[in-house]
A and B are shown apart, each in its own frame.
Chain A
Amino acid sequence: MVKIVLWSGLRRFTDGTLEFETAAPTLGRAMSDLVAQYPGLGPIFDQGVSVAIDGDIVPPNPAMALPDGAEVHFLQQMRGG
């Protein structure tokens, strides 16, 4: 299983829940499962998010495999640089 953690500003779209367990094999599948459960997340994800997998901030590649036991943090899109 993989632990998904959303940023707290998304609480209003997820009935207050910010942490999820998922068996989704890929990042894209995990995101689409979340949107299916909480449609309000759709426009947020479409707009762009930043993702950290086990602490490494990576591009949100939908095909990225999620290793068992991983911790995936969604962060509001980082725009600086």
Chain B
Amino acid sequence: MAKDTANELRIVGTRPDRPDGLDKVTGRARYGADISAAGLLHGAVVRSPHAHARIVKIDASKALALSGVKAVVTRDDFPTGLTGEAWDLQENTMAGERALYDGHAVAAVAATSAQLARDAAKLIEVEYEILPHVTDVDAAMAPDAPIIREGAADHSVPDGLHPNVVRYIEFGHGDLEDGFAKADIVREHQYKTEAAHQGYIEPHACMGQMGADGKGEMWVCTQGHWYIRKMCTQVLGLDASQLRVTPSEIGGGFGGKTTIFMEPLSLALSRKAGGRPVKIVMSRSEVLRATGPTASASMDVKIGMTKDGKITAGSATFRMQGGAFAGAPVDMALYCAFAAYKVPALQHVGYDVLANRPKAAAYRAPGSPMAAFAVESLLDEMCNELGLDPLDVRVKNAAQSHETSSFGPKFGVIGLNETLAATQAHPNLSAPLGPNQGRGIASGFWFNHGGDTSVSMALGEDGTVTVSIGTPDIGGSRASMAMMAAETLEIPYDNVRVNIVETGALGVNEPTHGSRATFATGKATVEAAQGMIVEMCKRAAAKWGIEPDAVEWRDGAAHPAGPNAGEYPPMTIGEIGAAMSNTGGPIAGHHESVPAGVGESFGTHVVDVEVDPETGRTTILRYLVVQDAGRAIHPAYVEGQYQGGAVQGIGWALNEEYVYDDMGRLQNPVFLDYRVPVASDLPMIDTVIVEVPNPGHPYGVRGVGETGIAPPLPAVANAVAAATGVRMRHLPITPSKLLAAIKASKNG
């Protein structure tokens, strides 16, 4: 069994060098665009300039007449008859009868150079009939809103709603009326957030090769190459096993690289170009226009509270648009909305709404940040009104282990109490504040996830170990897996190498998403190591002529389990590896499962801001993240996740938004105008790792990647309210909006 108490651990909880460090600082790491192959062609995509338009005609004759242009594909080159989510993926990959958003792909071309491909794309003539469009979620639900896709609603949608409402969510518990009646104050407000992009530094890039025999290869920047395989083969009508997908190094994903965009186009172009490999690298503008941001949201929240801060009831009605396809994370938003609280009566209602925007993709704790903004902002307003300490109110109402959650099932062991206590004890909470400065506090939640997981591990002839995993490393998982393998095998960290292997090498793996990799792949790694230990003990037992269960594993070697087993010198892992050809052959461990025992994670953030009353600019003075990690395998990576989540949330709160003109065209598709926070905008983000071990993992791991993006939205808004006396209920809090609100409050 793995050692499971902190003082027994040798490697877990330490901070060894990261295995990808040298590659990344020397440029040796190979990202999506770094691949090349003999006969390589380059692809370019023709995209709709209209938010909603019927495609009347596509004429590629001028492009195909150029020397060096090898293939053009349109939707006519894709199979027909797909349904459900497979159809959605195909339609988003390449528009059929209609372009559904600004940036929607309508054709693609492959040529002998990237420049020639771009020139050829400009020569592909597309005739459009412009149709009415809608990009705002509330407008898309209005009775006179243009219908984006008739019949797209699923069985959950009650009669009488606009056809743009494609999914309806409703759940809750308790007597809402009674709960509000027991409150001393009941307050209700509407909150809005805008679509924000994941903002990964590396644009999407892939190289696909597909021959007439139906066998294909793909090199791609992704969080999940089995998803790429499944989705590409669905969209193109191919057998999954005939496409081998190899992941590149990845320059950020944050959920946005768990699906397909232009990857099937490279395969379709390759097939049409005689099997030559086709590389497609998106520009930043393409990334912002055509890959998944998260949803925009319009949310009504109502809460009842007693004078001493007890929450008696709550309701949340959320409307989210996730582009022209179902999939806005309104369900997850509602599940997270009140998760940090024990509330006797709750009602949740959600609408997933179509709009003429790009298909939403997952973004770090999908839905949770919006929900946190609405609920945590209203709670803060009510605490202010009642003169209550916002942290005390959170403690008073905190969700508890083994008690019913806001979304129905009972929680397992959770660490919210410990997180709140660590927040209360932190010195940032007592740092003095000056004029125009304010402090905001908010909590957040994410479920975390298990998912299909497959890991293999092999012993080398010298006793070193190779671990093969299928979850791309977006947050330090190679280091974490090596540490857990080394801890379990009781060998040095440097004796383990972890490789992220292609789709032919393991069973199916879900992507690195849902904060699952350290939990699920880690659990499978420990299981695989334990399997290998069993085999190594067998080899030693055979040599010693004793029963395998009379052998125990410790200090990286097989030992007789006790005096009755006989007296033999330990057989080290190196000796076992050196002898394995003569003792039964290769030694390996593997594990495949959908692991249970996922541990939820809560976090609380405290932010101090200063607002310039002359310009409306908000400056972050200090920022604290306190979050339960279960157990931090590599604390530096955990801190990095906390800091990264906080920074992305700060960007969402203060700067980031998709801006459309009245024609439904995105107005800020470059980082100059879509402004993410940079290092010079921010102080060092302070972190506290709370460790309430998850009993569902051999080392107590909880996922840590996502919770951290939820609290910043309300924490920043609460701090701005404290600094200015102005409550901003529509993010982002840009200087111009805040300045206008400050002026209005003074005039009003």
Contacts and interface: CB of A to CB of B under 8 A. Distances in A.
Contact of B410 (A7, A54, A76): A54
B408 A52 contact: yes
B158 interface: yes
B258 A8 contact: no
A9 to B, nearest CB: 3
B407 interface: yes
A16 to B, nearest CB: 13
A58 B411 contact: no
Given A47-B155, A79-B331, A80-B367, A58 B170 contact: no
Interface in B367-410: 367, 402, 405, 407-410
A76 B329 contact: no
A44 interface: yes
Interface string B309-346: 00000000000000000010101100100000000000
Nearest to B452: A59
Contact of A81 (B158, B170, B402, B449): B449
Interface in A33-58: 43-44, 47, 52, 54-58
A58 B597 CA distance: 9
B332 A80 contact: yes
Contacts of B596: 56, 58
B514 interface: yes
A73 B409 contact: yes
A8 B412 CA distance: 22
A54 B405 CA distance: 12
Interface residues of B, number: 41
Nearest to A5: B408
B703 to A, nearest CB: 11
Contact of B155 (A5, A44, A55, A80): A44
Interface in A1-49: 5, 7-9, 12, 43-44, 47
Interface string B440-478: 000000010110000000000000000000000000000
Contacts of A52: 408-409
B717 interface: no
Contacts of A79: 327, 329, 331-332
A18 B265 CA distance: 46
A69 to B, nearest CB: 13
A73 B404 CA distance: 11
A81 B258 contact: yes
10 contacts: A5-B408, A8-B170, A8-B171, A9-B168, A9-B170, A44-B155, A44-B156, A55-B409, A75-B407, A80-B362
Interface of A: 5, 7-9, 12, 43-44, 47, 52, 54-59, 71, 73, 75-81
The 5 residue pairs across chains A and B that have the minimum distance between CB atoms: A9-B170, A80-B366, A80-B332, A52-B409, A7-B171
Given A47-B154, A56-B596, A78-B331, 5 more contacts: A9-B156, A56-B597, A75-B407, A79-B329, A80-B366
